[in-house]
Amino acid sequence: MSSPTVSIEGPTSTTSEGLLAAAKSGGCASSSYGSSPTSPGEEDPAIWERIKDHPCFSEEAHHYFARMHVAVAPACNVQCN
C-alpha cells in the first residue's frame, strides 16, 4: 500500500503579499493575543518607554530579535508573563 502524494506547494499558493497581509492583520503583535499592551495608551508611559522596542510588543522588533526567555534575562521575564 502506498502513501498519498502531498504537494510541497500545499493546497493553495501563498504570495508574499498574502503573508504580509496576514501578519499585519494579526500575528503575535495583535491586541487579541494575550493581554499585552500594544500602544502607549494601554500602559503607563514610563513602562511603555522601556518596553516599546521589545520583541513581545514591537512588530518591527520581530524582524531583528527573537523572543527568547532564559534564566539570565529576568528583566525580560518580568514583562513577558
Domain borders along the chain are 33-79
C-alpha dist (Å) from residue 76 to 19, 33, 40, 47, 73: 29, 18, 18, 12, 6
- Whether residue 79 is predicted with pLDDT greater than 70 in this model: the reply is no
Cell 527573537 sits on residue: 66
Average pLDDT value for residue range 7-27: 58
pLDDT for residue 20 is more than 60: yes
In this prediction the pTM is 0.28
Burial of 57 (0-12, 13-18, 19+ CB in 10 A): buried
Residue 34's pLDDT is: 44
